[in-house]
Amino acid sequence: MAKKVTKIGVLTSGGDSPGMNAATRAVVRTAIYYGLEAFGIMRGYAGMIDNDIVPLHSRSVANIIQRGGTILKTARCKEFFHADGRKKAYENLKKLGIDGLIIIGGDGSFKGADIFSREFDIPCIGLPGTIDKDIAGSDFTIGFDTAVNTAVEAIDKIRDTADAHDRLFIIEVMGRDAGYIALHSGIATGAENILIPERKTDVEELVNGLLEKEKRKKLVNLVVVAEGDDFGGGNEVAKIIKERLPNADVRVCILGHIQRGGSPSCLDRLIASRMGYSAVECLIEGRHNVMVGIVNNRMSYTPLEKAVKAKQKINNEWLKIVKILAS
């Protein structure tokens, strides 16, 4: 039988995403409800190694559900890749009596948690906190909905100015390895083309499609490109289009870090609250070393080792929809 958990440490790690605070709040309040103590580990795994760990009370997480960023701060921590760094982290947790961990982060953070949970007797629960949505085992990740809505709002504004000048805009959105922000925001804003890392970019097809539209006097075009597209980011795509369509008035807009910030959407607050609550219940019930997700509106639990290996697959039908609707 699993040991009873009494003190929970919560941390946010890797890339930040809106809704991490709502998840932290849910973890702390649920822990307190069940009579457990909660500790905030600052700056992800770096705080575990540096012993930057603070007790959290119900009031510590007041007035944060609506705030972007993360009050716990986040970081990328090289030392945690090494066994001696992880040992140092374990010793710090032991000193404080922390016997359960909740890690809010992306697949890198889960890799770290998976290794740590195999080396030491501290159960780990992962919550998918990433704007990229590229984690298997959950229909949603905390922050994706807010990020994609930020992109949609920005692209709508770009369309207004593109329309006024009959311009072709290349808009680069975030997504180094994943095209979900590009795909969702592109469909939602009526983009002509969406270029994503998961699919080989056919430049000929892109250029021919735009040439054909030029002939039809369809001059306002939006091309949404994920930053990690195999052909390159927004600037590379613009370069080739300018070469091949010299008459087109081409502009580039790179949305960048605004997609990470801002007040989380209702959906992100909701899933962060449900996942945070569920993570504490997992620790209490002895369901260890899993990532908590939501699949078909029910809580789901994926072993950490699986969550880090599998990626969500892009639905090809969605790409077909883009082509048909942007004609």
Active site residues: 132
Cβ-based neighbours of 2, under 8 Å, separated by 6 or more: 123, 286, 288
Tokens of 105: 């982060």
Tell me the chain's radius of gyration from C-alpha atoms: 22
- Residue 109 interacting with ligand ADP (CB under 6 A): yes
CA gap 245, 193 in Å, rounded? 16
Task: Kindly state whether residue 237 participates in binding ligand ADP, applying the rule CB under 6 A.
Answer: no
Residues with Cβ within 8 Å of residue 310, at least 6 apart in sequence? 136, 137
Nearest residue to ligand ADP on Cβ basis: 108
- Residue from 14, 40, 100, 276 touching ligand ADP (CB under 6 A): that is 14
User: Rounded to whole angstroms, how far apart are CA atoms 82 and 62?
Assistant: 36
User: 128-157 mask for ligand ADP (x: CB under 6 A)?
Assistant: --x---------------------------
Give me the residue label for tokens 């994920």. 226
Name which position in 80, 180, 277, 301 contacts ligand ADP (CB under 6 A). 80
Residue 228 engages ligand ADP in binding (rule: CB under 6 A): no
Sheet of strand 250-254, all strands in order from the earlier edge strand to the far edge: 193-195, 221-226, 168-173, 250-254
215 vs 257 by CB, closer to ligand ADP: 257
| CA-wise closest residue to 72 among 50, 85, 87, 56 | 56
**81/231 with CB nearer ligand ADP:** 81
303: Cα within 13 Å, side-chain hemisphere: 6
Pairing of strands 290-295, 298-303: antiparallel
| Binding residues with ligand ADP: total (CB under 6 A) | 17
Interacting span for ligand ADP (CB under 6 A) from 77-85, 176-184, 266-274, 309-317: 77-85
Between residues 126 and 233, which has the closer beta carbon with respect to ligand ADP? 126
Does residue 13 touch ligand ADP according to CB under 6 A? yes
With contact defined as beta carbons under 8 Å apart, do 107 and 135 qualify?
yes
The CB-of-257 to ligand ADP minimum distance in angstroms stands at: 14
CB of 108 to ligand ADP, least distance (A): 2
* Contacts with ligand ADP, 24-53, as mask; x by CB under 6 A: ---------------------x--------
Stretch that binds ligand ADP, among 13-21, 48-56, 189-197, 198-206 (CB under 6 A): 13-21
Is 107 one of the binding residues for ligand ADP (CB under 6 A)?
Answer: yes
The interaxial angle of helices 144-165 and 180-188, nearest 10 deg, is: 50
